[in-house]
Amino acid sequence: MKLPSRLPIPGLRADLPVPGAAVPILGITFPALGVALASALTLAACGDGGTGGPAPGAAPAASPVGVIVARTEPVTLTTELPGRTAAYMVAEVRPQVSGIVQRRLFTEGSEVKEGQTLYQIDPASYRAALAGAKAGLSRAEANRYAVRLKARRYAELGRQGMISKQADDDTTAALKQAEADVAAARAALEKARIDLAYTRVPSPIAGRSGRSSVTAGALVTANQPVALTTVQQLDPIYVDLTQSSVELLRLKRDLADGRLQHVAEQVVPVRLLLEDGSEYAASGQLAFSGVSVDTDTGSVTLRAVFPNPQAELLPGMYVRARLAQGEIEKAILVPHAALTHDRRGNAIVMVVGTGDKVEARPVTATRSIGDKWLVSEGLLAGDRIVVDGLQKIRPGAPVTVQEAGTGAAAAK
């Protein structure tokens, strides 16, 4: 039995579909609710067509950017060089006479004064030699006295013609010989005194003593190759730095071309960075620059002097020094954030030009100074450099200029 497709419902027109029933559209049957939803989406899509975006051909809105104005200022260029500390003075203590060491009169590693006795060598034999030299001088002087009296008598007799000329000349020569003997005896006496004094081995300089190579009872010889100890003066202290000859030539060219101005001689300040990265409290100054290039390293040695009252710096420590190379009277510095690179790696700076439109300006950045780049070419004083809002702009785009660090550009 075939059922009718529509059932009559009281109060409802027979030509209207029953809610929930299928509605035929273009030969395809859809539920009535789906038709209503599709119609709503179609109307919404048609309604958005007039407000979705800017009309074709309309000018883009100006983006806010933060700028700084390029200014010239004097800048002192510095360089950082590696180096090692070296003692200001070094004295290797050696004996000047031979003998047995009786005592060591200092503590290893302690501070000693100039002239302080460090070792005492047995002086007995040298005292005896001094006494013998004194006796030799007395004998020579006594002989000279006798010869002098004889020479006077012979000279008087010679004038009277009572002795021959030969006898007179012999007594005169004997007197001169006696005087020479006295002089030799005096020299021997002085030598004996010096040798006796050398039995006391003093420190030639003031400084810190090192390790002793001998103890009491050791036999030492005059001018032996092994030092008894070493004394080093550490206040002040030297710092020997090395600079590449290539950098030195570049520096000389910049000075000759006028791009750099000379720093006053003898007052070049030097700051020191220690091995742990901390900065040494006191500043030093450059003492001299080497006049020859090391053939092994291709570098020139610079020497700086630093005060070292607390002996914080010890000989042989590795350090890094910062020293001034020259001065640029009219330098332009640009913050690191303002300088970018193009696809080829060339440095560029975004500059606000005529009509408040962005220009990409190629520049030459020679070195970094703190948080800024030193720009040698490409910028002029008065140029407006974009610092904030670089992500939202491109060359040729209009911008709204604000002071860097304020406004919407800095917030973005």
Angle between helices 165-198 and 124-160 (to 10 degrees): 160
Place of tokens 């000859």: 245
* 224-227 CB contacts, 8 Å cutoff, 24+ apart: 224/94, 224/95, 226/94, 227/92, 227/93, 227/94
* Omega cis (within 30) before 24: no
Average pLDDT in the chain: 82
Give the span between the Cα atoms of 386 and 158, in whole angstroms.
116
> Containing H/E element for 31?
strand 28-31
Instruction: Judge contact between 204 and 231, C-beta under 8 A.
Output: yes
Please compute the mean of the pLDDT values over residues 250-255 and round it to a whole number.
Answer: 68
Report CA 196 to chain centroid distance, whole Å.
49
234 CB-near residues (< 8 Å, 6+ apart):
87, 88, 207, 208, 308, 311, 313, 314, 315
| pLDDT at residue 28 tops 70 | no
Catalogue the E-assigned strands of 315-398: 318-335, 339-341, 347-352, 358-362, 364-369, 372-377, 384-388
Q: Please tell me the pTM assigned to this model.
A: 0.63
Structural domains of the chain sorted by starting position, each given as residue range(s) with its CATH number in brackets: 63-75+330-411 (2.40.420.20), 77-87+236-328 (2.40.30.170), 96-121+199-226 (2.40.50.100), 123-198 (1.10.287.470)
Contacts 24+ apart (CB under 8 A), 340-344: 340/390
Amino acid type, 98: S
Q: Tell me, what's the pLDDT at 217?
A: 94
Least-confidence region, from 28-37, 136-145, 240-249, 256-265: 28-37
For residue 371, what pLDDT band results from cuts at 50, 70 and 90?
confident
Tell me phi and psi for residue 369, to 5 degrees: -125, 100
Residue 62 banded pLDDT, cuts 50, 70, 90: confident
| Alpha-carbon gap, residue 117 to 2, rounded angstroms | 138
**Cβ contact 406:66 at 8 Å:** yes
**pLDDT attached to residue 403:** 84
Contact status, residue 88 vs residue 348, Cβ threshold 8 Å: no
Q: Which of 359, 355, 346, 354 is nearest to 386 (CA)?
A: 359
Sign (positive or negative) of CA dihedral 384, 385, 387, 391: positive
Give the tokens for residue 361.
Answer: 């300006």
What's the rounded Cα separation, in Å, for the pair 349 and 364? 10
H helices, E strands: number in the chain: 5, 22
Better pLDDT: 326 or 120:
120
pLDDT at 43 over 80: no
Token representation of residue 303: 């020497």
pLDDT digits (tens, 9 = 90+) for 258-293: 555 556 555 678 899 998 889 999 988 888 776 677
Are residues 332 and 382 in contact, defined by beta-carbon separation less than 8 angstroms? no
In three-state secondary structure terms, 25 is strand
What are the distances in angstroms from CA 123 to CA 97, 165, 199, 350? 10, 52, 6, 86
Output DSSP code: residue 58: P
